[in-house]
Structure 1
Amino acid sequence: MKRRDFLKLSGATMMSTSLLSLSQAVAAAEQGEDYKALVCVFLYGGMDCHDTIIPLDDSNYQQWANHRSSLLSAYPTPRTPQNLHALSTPSRFNQRKFALPPEMAGLAKLYVQGQLSVIGNVGPLLEPVNASHLEQATASVPPRLFSHNDQQSTWMSGKTEGAQFGWGGLINDALINTGKTQQTPFNAITTAEADLWLTGSNTFPYHVSDGKAGIIEILEEFDNNQALADYFAGKENSSSNNILQQDLDTLTRSAMAANSQYNDAIANTSFTLPQFPTTPLAQQLKNVCQSIATRQQLNTKRQVYIVGMGGFDTHSGQAQSLPKLQSALDGALVAFNTAIASLGLEKQVTLFTASDFGRTLAVNGDGTDHGWGAHHFIMGGAVNGGTIFGDIPPPELNHAFDAGSGRLIPTTAVDQLAASLGSWMGVDDSALLQIFPNLKNFSGKLSLFKG
């Protein structure tokens, strides 16, 4: 936990913890426990959507292969039709077919089983835009496109770098305001440096690392944590006239109390998760599962989480790096899905991926360059699985949604995706329009969920 986080954190109190067995957790879920969690997996650098959702029908595969020929010859496992994992395709695609790469066999299986879907060509938009609008300079588009920091911020908040609030945090604010959840330090949890998405007016990111509460960096210089705790406990009735000192003491006590509560909840909750891969992303998602298992001790009915994975800025060496990244993503998401099912919460936890942007269809030699729209995954038992939402433009240049070199102009706005997720969490339409004021410019939310 960073300085700015614990300075914001207030109102945390120690709670008694009790032993909660895995069987009790599953029974609670089966009885319709009012709990939901949203998990964002942010892929830093800009995931190459063109090499994730791959055309499989003959004509489109050949077009795609022609554009990607210099990369295809260098991949360790050839991306031939025989090695790709076919996805069933909605009829609106007019017999076009799609597949996942060889390294994503697990996600392909979840898609076939109806536990995962694809969201096609989603990205930041202010209003619907096509290539003609860009050419004629009549389009209103998000500022600073193709910039890593700015587009990460825009995905998370709708604004460029320096934004104050993210839509994950604002969704939680709305849930607090309507009584869907209580305000606790544990409503918004990160295992990565992604505070913005979780920050709202009354929602602040809580950091978790290696299955425990994150370290408060400003206090790391103290060697004796118990002595430090005793010191701040003794300051509770401080008579200092220094207002800043009073506030600092209060907030530090609150942060330390929250850390103790979180660690005690983890230590005193009995659960056994299936094995996770040893990759950094998989271990972050394991931490998320451990946290979700303690939800009753932490006294929260709604939670938003964000985890992160880097390495997707594949300007060069893409054929060597991207398959490894895709394999790690596949293993982590499959393990998470299995673990959530073991907790009996598969219908109450939804995971989705996000990234700075997609990448160019055109190859720059042995890599690809920054794009705009991208294809992403959504996973969970509540999701309308085994389908593709939105659109996937053809694998060619100079079509109606090409911003140049195969940079996809989004056909689905982040606001539409985010509002759909917020609605599932329990946010009403009037609050969603306040959080996403540009939503009125589009055709509405996506039908991502069952029922």
Structure 2
Amino acid sequence: MNRRSFLKAGSASVAAAPFLNLADALANTQVNANDDYKALVCIFLYGGMDNHDTVIPYDLASYNKWSNIRSTLLSGYTTKRTLDNLAPITAPSRFGSRQFALAPELSGIAQLYQQGKVSVVGNVGPLLEPTSAEAIRAETARLPARLFSHNDQQSTWMSGKTEGAQFGWAGLLNDALIGQGLQTPSTFSAITTADADLLITGNNTTPYHINDGQAATINVIDFFDEPDVLSAHFSALGHQTNNLVEQDVAAHINRAYNANKQFNAALSGTTVSLPTFPATPIAKQLEAVSKTIAIREQLNEKRQIFVVAMGGFDTHSGQAQSLPKLQSALDGAFVAFDAAMQNLGLSDKVTLFTASDFGRTLAINGDGTDHGWGAHHFVMGGAVQGGTIFGDIPESELDHQLDAGGGRLIPTLSVDQYAASLGQWLGIEQGTLETIFPNLIKFGEIPNLFK
């Protein structure tokens, strides 16, 4: 190995090791197998998933309205969005004669819905207060800042604030679990496989990164005759300095290095038998999450929050070619993750949910769609009230009271309500939820997504 290869391998590995608050990580008592374990897993869909091509009208009258508005775009799909090609789902009686289906590439999720394992959360998005198209036209509506901006709305979904926010709501939920004694300060309680740190960052919660199913590893050490010497160097073991900043950095590096060793040792020392996951990036991320959940006892965890992600949903053009592939990958990942949780006997202990920048316009721009607002999302798990639709699915038409323009849906369910329901399931007290989500009181009840 030449000097350049050594420096590249060594520095890249050290840079990948996260700066963590690990003070109590190795002092936790062993988790008992009978303890109450729960985990949330967020799939963040970067770019803005097209809600109008996710939950599709299935009764003839509504379908005709939808297909007429989107006729030019629909003609480009290889798998046609004809009625007989859609994957129908049973709608609650409150929708009357209206019926719904999922896109053909989401047939696995549709089947899980029919089995009572998945539900749809309809027309959810950032809100400061309930509003309408009339209030927006009259300029009396209080609206979230920088609507339709990717970076800002990703941040708003994760934190309630635009780009530059410091803490995410899932990180604050984990902080609350610590405050209520349902969680100990821990290294492995908030884990990401993607660039979605904000969601799981709190005052006392720091994201822990895994990549390709494991923690950062300095593999270059194995090439040396005296690996302990180099290991001590990279872990900042015994680093002596009077500089307080250097002391703090050295302590963080040492803790991160030891945490990564602990994680990888737990993973390699545990036999985890899981169903086969598809070879897509999103499925492989969920496979890594599944393996991490399987070693929860070795990591001493009772509550965990995970974030995985997939991109490509900003379908301004070429939507007929790109979106079906994305939907197929998402569908395969859902089905595999459900099978994995069944295999681990943890279906009722793990809840998977989706989030995204925003939905998209019902109107088309030629061969794609533009940035929207409200969107429809999926929630899955054995504890979920499956086989139903929470919230609303507005009619597929333009210029109604929930149309902010071009078929951009004005949300009828706030992200605060969506997130608070997930937090409620984790065990967060009502008063604490109202502190984390200060606008919650403006929206009435928290939807009960769970049994």
TM-score normalized by structure 1? 0.93
- Structure 1 residues 51 and 93: alpha-carbon distance in aligned structure 2, compared to 1, 3 A threshold: same
Output one character per residue of 1:232-260: Cα deviation in whole Å (capped at 9) or x when no partner: 66744x55211111111111110001000
- Structure 1 residues 14 and 33: alpha-carbon distance in aligned structure 2, compared to 1, 3 A threshold: closer
Give secondary structure in 1 for the equivalent of 2:41: strand
- Once the two structures are superposed, the pairs formed by residues 113-152 of structure 1 within 5 Å of their partners are 113-152=115-154
Output one character per residue of 1:41-71: Cα deviation in whole Å (capped at 9) or x when no partner: 0000000000010000011000000011011
Output one character per residue of 1:64-105: Cα deviation in whole Å (capped at 9) or x when no partner: 000110111111111111111111011111110000111111
2:151 maps to a residue whose letter is N
Shift of residue 122, structure 1, vs aligned partner:
0.1
Output one character per residue of 1:364-397: Cα deviation in whole Å (capped at 9) or x when no partner: 0000000000000000000000000000100000
Q: Does 1:165 align with 2:177?
A: no
1:61 is aligned, of 60, 63, 81, to 63
Match of 2:398 in 1: 397
Output one character per residue of 1:300-327: Cα deviation in whole Å (capped at 9) or x when no partner: 1000000000000000000001111100
2:198 maps to a residue whose letter is L
Q: Does 1:10 align with 2:22?
A: yes
TM-score normalized by structure 2? 0.93
Q: Is the 8 A contact 1:14 1:260 kept in 2?
A: no
Inter-partner Cα distance in structure 2 for 1:118 and 1:352: 10
Match of 2:447 in 1: 446
- Once the two structures are superposed, the pairs formed by residues 7-406 of structure 1 within 5 Å of their partners are 7-11=19-23, 14=26, 28=33, 33-214=35-216, 226-231=228-233, 235-236=237-238, 238-406=239-407
Output one character per residue of 1:140-199: Cα deviation in whole Å (capped at 9) or x when no partner: 110000000000000000000000000010000000111101111100000000000010
Inter-partner Cα distance in structure 2 for 1:156 and 1:214: 25
Q: Is the 8 A contact 1:5 1:206 kept in 2?
A: no
Q: Is the 8 A contact 1:39 1:352 kept in 2?
A: yes
- Structure 1 residues 287 and 399: alpha-carbon distance in aligned structure 2, compared to 1, 3 A threshold: same
Shift of residue 221, structure 1, vs aligned partner:
12
Inter-partner Cα distance in structure 2 for 1:2 and 1:394: 52
- Structure 1: gaps spanning 5 or more residues: none
Inter-partner Cα distance in structure 1 for 2:95 and 2:192: 37
Give secondary structure in 2 for the equivalent of 1:361: strand
2:424 maps to a residue whose letter is S
Give secondary structure in 1 for the equivalent of 2:444: coil
Inter-partner Cα distance in structure 1 for 2:81 and 2:19: 50
Shift of residue 231, structure 1, vs aligned partner:
2.7
- What is the aligned length? 437
Give secondary structure in 2 for the equivalent of 1:437: coil
Q: Is the 8 A contact 1:186 1:300 kept in 2?
A: yes
Give secondary structure in 1 for the equivalent of 2:19: helix
Give secondary structure in 1 for the equivalent of 2:120: strand
Match of 1:421 in 2: 422
What is the aligned-residue identity percentage?
Answer: 59
- Structure 1 residues 52 and 226: alpha-carbon distance in aligned structure 2, compared to 1, 3 A threshold: farther
1:345 maps to a residue whose letter is L
The worse-fitting range, judged by mean Cα deviation, of 106-115 and 227-236 is 227-236
- Structure 1 residues 2 and 404: alpha-carbon distance in aligned structure 2, compared to 1, 3 A threshold: farther
Q: Is the 8 A contact 1:361 1:407 kept in 2?
A: yes
Inter-partner Cα distance in structure 1 for 2:177 and 2:15: 26
Inter-partner Cα distance in structure 2 for 1:180 and 1:317: 47
Give secondary structure in 2 for the equivalent of 1:229: helix
4+ residue runs over 2 A deviation: 1-10, 12-18, 219-229, 231-236
Match of 2:6 in 1: none
Inter-partner Cα distance in structure 2 for 1:423 and 1:149: 28
Q: Is the 8 A contact 1:232 1:249 kept in 2?
A: no
Shift of residue 8, structure 1, vs aligned partner:
4.3
Match of 1:436 in 2: 437
2:21 maps to a residue whose letter is L
- Structure 1 residues 137 and 295: alpha-carbon distance in aligned structure 2, compared to 1, 3 A threshold: same
Inter-partner Cα distance in structure 1 for 2:198 and 2:146: 18
- Structure 1 residues 223 and 248: alpha-carbon distance in aligned structure 2, compared to 1, 3 A threshold: farther
Q: Is the 8 A contact 2:38 2:349 kept in 1?
A: yes
1:392 maps to a residue whose letter is I
Inter-partner Cα distance in structure 2 for 1:193 and 1:240: 33
Inter-partner Cα distance in structure 1 for 2:261 and 2:228: 11
Shift of residue 10, structure 1, vs aligned partner:
3.1
Shift of residue 13, structure 1, vs aligned partner:
5.1
Inter-partner Cα distance in structure 2 for 1:9 and 1:183: 9
Output one character per residue of 1:389-427: Cα deviation in whole Å (capped at 9) or x when no partner: 000100000001000000000000000000000000011
Inter-partner Cα distance in structure 2 for 1:172 and 1:15: 18
Q: Is the 8 A contact 1:5 1:205 kept in 2?
A: no
Match of 2:4 in 1: none
Give secondary structure in 2 for the equivalent of 1:212: coil
Output one character per residue of 1:322-346: Cα deviation in whole Å (capped at 9) or x when no partner: 1111000000011001001100000
- Structure 2: gaps spanning 5 or more residues: 1-12
Q: Is the 8 A contact 1:145 1:151 kept in 2?
A: yes
Give secondary structure in 1 for the equivalent of 2:322: helix
- Structure 1 residues 226 and 65: alpha-carbon distance in aligned structure 2, compared to 1, 3 A threshold: farther
2:166 maps to a residue whose letter is Q
